[in-house]
């Protein structure tokens, strides 16, 4: 009896440690932490959300290259790398994208916890300071960044933009999004165009950096085995020194449905074709049923697309789908022999119509629920995953723990999945096809 009570108390204690602790440090600056004693490392990420201005895409896109290459205290990559080595191999990463209809730039640093250092080094404090040094105190020349640094990073950005054309799946995803979401931030490549990148100057990049600091919504997530009281103090002190103006508001918008299905074909030197179909449901409100629907259609190894279109009919090399709950969309993508393009599109539509008319089986529903449940539980596997879990919910009325999300998934019925499917309409069909096919 006592043993059972202790086990139950221990499980409850662990669960309490995982709960998100979130507070506002200043206007538009939020600090969230998740402490879990199972981790041996700590991770601090700082995300800036800014307006997705088309003409400034490259000016913002070059910032991760510049800000993670050096800072005033460590003026070149060699010195900075040496510092990482001194911090037991700490590492910094960056990510540029579009989230919540905003440009998002995330800078993260990871290190082992102070308890596991050899001589009691204060790694959390040093890593937090180092990350802020890179973001707040880069090398500058007058009212711009160093010309030599910008010249090097500009070419790296140009190379990154150009490389997308070489990866046909990535290129199809980029061009398909432009067709499906015209005029929306998610329809624009975050890196900008080669022409925009070529036009970046030390001054224009510096201006973007100053705007990022002054107007960006700043979200900080700290996850690991620390209580992060040291990091909170440092972040609060240093970020409070930033001159802030009107903070960019986060307001994700539902993607509008086109009056008629838009179809576009682009030819390219390749062997197989890539088909991308975009379905939109502006009136969708059932996040759980929508997620399960996408899995049943094409999000798992037992999905209808895989079983019926790829395996039984042999119409494509692969066929999958994923959903975006903010845009209320399901995207279907397939690698297809050009001769089977029309058949594959009809087969995808047939699977949608079958669920609309006949619903899904209990077996399909249980497989999808198990998949979502396991994925939700897996976010505790790493500090990065649990940070991403909560950071994806910053605009929601309530941030759900994985456990609460799982409870919501369990309540979904086959009827709800069928009703969710009926809300979707085909919006855009993009095809990347070999040049000889017209």
> Tens of pLDDT along 18-36?
678 999 999 999 999 999 9
Which pLDDT band holds residue 9 (cuts at 50, 70, 90)?
Answer: very low
SS (H, E, C) the chain: CHHHHHHHHHHHHHHHHCCCEEEEEECCEEEEEEECCCCCEEEEEEEEEECCCHHHHHHHHCHHHHHCCCCCCCCCHHHHHHHHHHCCCCEEEEEEEEECCEEEEEEEEEEECHHHCCCCCCHHHHHHHHHHHHHHCCCEECCEECHHHHHHHHHHHHHHHHHHHHCHHHHHHHHHHHHHCCCCHHHCCCCCCHHHHHCCCHHHHHHHHHHHHHHCEEEEEEEECCCCHHHHHHHHHHHCCCCCCCCCCCCCCCCCCCCCCEEEEEEECCCCEEEEEEEECCCCCCHHHHHHHHHHHHCCCCCHHHHHHHHHCCCEEEEEEEEECCCCEEEEEEEECHHHHHHHHHHHHHHHHHHHHHCCCHHHHHHHHHHHHHHHHHHHHCHHHHHHHHHCCCCCCCCCCHHHHHHHHHCCCHHHHHHHHCCCEEEEEEEEEECCCC
pLDDT for 299 beyond 60: yes
What pLDDT is stored for residue 383 in this prediction? 92
Percent of the chain residues past pLDDT 90, beyond the cut? 86
Instruction: State in words which class domain 262-434 has.
Output: alpha beta
Which pLDDT band holds residue 53 (cuts at 50, 70, 90)?
Answer: confident
- Across 4-15, average pLDDT: 44
Which pLDDT band holds residue 181 (cuts at 50, 70, 90)?
Answer: very high
Instruction: State in words which class domain 18-239 has.
Output: alpha beta
pLDDT tens track for 109-138: 999 998 988 888 899 999 999 999 999 999
pLDDT for 1 beyond 70: no
pLDDT tens track for 34-50: 999 889 999 999 999 99
What pLDDT is stored for residue 289 in this prediction? 97
Higher pLDDT, 436 or 90: 90
pLDDT for 436 beyond 80: no
What pLDDT is stored for residue 18 in this prediction? 64
pLDDT for 386 beyond 80: yes
pLDDT tens track for 326-344: 999 999 999 999 999 999 9
pLDDT for 11 beyond 60: no
pLDDT tens track for 230-252: 999 999 999 988 989 999 999 89
- Across 47-57, average pLDDT: 92
Domain ranges across the chain:
18-239, 262-434
Query: What value does the mean pLDDT of the chain take?
Result: 92
Assess whether the region 18-239 and the region 262-434 belong to the same CATH fold: yes
pLDDT for 13 beyond 60: no
What pLDDT is stored for residue 16 in this prediction? 42
pLDDT for 417 beyond 60: yes
Which pLDDT band holds residue 140 (cuts at 50, 70, 90)?
Answer: very high
């Amino acid at each position: 009896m006592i043993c059972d009570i202790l086990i139950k108390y221990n499980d409850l204690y662990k669960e309490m440690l995982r709960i998100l602790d979130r507070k506002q440090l200043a206007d538009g600056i939020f600090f969230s932490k998740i402490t879990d004693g199972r981790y041996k490392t700590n991770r601090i990420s700082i995300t800036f959300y800014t307006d997705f201005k088309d003409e400034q895409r490259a000016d913002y896109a070059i910032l991760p290259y510049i800000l993670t290459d050096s800072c005033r205290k460590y003026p070149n990559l060699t010195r900075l790398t040496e510092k990482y080595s001194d911090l037991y191999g700490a590492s910094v990463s960056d990510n540029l994208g579009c989230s919540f209809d905003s440009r998002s730039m995330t800078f993260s640093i990871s290190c082992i916890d102070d308890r596991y250092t050899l001589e009691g080094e204060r790694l959390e404090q040093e890593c937090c300071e180092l990350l802020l040094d890179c973001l707040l105190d880069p090398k500058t020349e007058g009212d711009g960044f160093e010309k030599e640094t910008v010249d090097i990073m500009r070419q790296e950005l140009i190379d990154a933009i150009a490389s997308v054309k070489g990866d046909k799946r990535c290129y199809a995803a980029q061009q398909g999004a432009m067709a499906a979401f015209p005029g929306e931030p998610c329809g624009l490549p975050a890196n900008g165009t080669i022409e925009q990148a070529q036009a970046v100057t030390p001054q224009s990049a510096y201006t973007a950096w100053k705007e990022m600091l002054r107007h960006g919504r700043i979200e900080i997530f700290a996850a690991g085995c620390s209580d992060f009281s040291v990091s909170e103090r440092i972040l609060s002190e240093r970020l409070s020194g930033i001159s802030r103006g009107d903070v960019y508001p986060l307001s994700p918008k539902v993607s509008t449905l086109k009056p008629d299905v838009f179809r576009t074909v682009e030819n390219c030197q390749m062997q197989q074709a890539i088909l991308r179909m975009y379905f939109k449901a502006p009136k969708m409100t059932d996040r759980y049923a929508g997620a399960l629907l996408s899995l049943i259609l094409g999000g798992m190894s037992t999905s209808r697309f895989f079983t019926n279109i790829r395996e039984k009919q042999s119409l494509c090399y692969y066929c999958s789908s994923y959903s975006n709950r903010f845009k209320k969309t399901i995207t279907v993508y397939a690698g297809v022999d050009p001769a089977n393009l029309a058949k594959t599109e009809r087969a995808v539509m047939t699977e949608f119509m079958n669920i609309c008319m006949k619903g899904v089986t209990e077996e399909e529903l249980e497989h999808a629920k198990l998949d979502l449940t396991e994925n939700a539980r897996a976010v505790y596997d790493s500090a990065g995953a649990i940070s991403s879990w909560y950071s994806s919910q910053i605009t929601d009325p309530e941030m759900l723990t994985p456990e609460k999300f799982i409870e919501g998934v369990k309540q979904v019925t086959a009827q709800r999945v069928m009703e969710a499917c009926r809300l979707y309409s085909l919006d855009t069909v993009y095809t990347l096809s070999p040049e000889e096919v017209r």
